[in-house]
Amino acid sequence: MAHYAKIIEGTVVEVIVADEDYISELEGTWVQTSYNSNIRKNYASVGGTYDSTRDAFIHPKPYPSWVLNETTCQWNAPVEIPDIENKYIWNEDITSWMLVEE
């Protein structure tokens, strides 16, 4: 059993667990994915895309200012997070990280 994503016009519309024999009987385009990202860079997510040129699944872009990392096919903020000891949230209005007060 493996995970497969159904792709319509480059968009992931469904992700299922099935045998390869079952997938071969289905109509449409199905591409294998891996929940631990061993293949195709990232685990497929509904609403994300499959880039056949990169052979990679790409999650939806979280914010307009974020940039795609061509190596990992993950979205990165245009500004590095200040540190990992504190909690931050992204503020798109000022394109910066904001410290979460607890």
Question: How far apart (Å, rounded) are the C-alpha atoms in residues 28 and 61?
Answer: 25
pLDDT(102) > 80: no
Calculate the average pLDDT of the chain. Answer: 96
Instruction: Indicate if the alpha-carbon torsion angle 39, 45, 51, 52 is positive or negative.
Output: positive
pLDDT tens by residue, 19-29: 999 999 999 99
pLDDT tens by residue, 83-94: 989 999 999 999
> What is the rounded average pLDDT of the residues 68-83?
96
Instruction: Indicate if the alpha-carbon torsion angle 97, 88, 69, 93 is positive or negative.
Output: negative
Longest CA span, the chain = 53
Question: How far apart (Å, rounded) are the C-alpha atoms in residues 19 and 2?
Answer: 6
pLDDT tens by residue, 28-41: 999 999 988 789 99
| Rounded-to-10 torsion of CA 76, 44, 47, 21 | 170
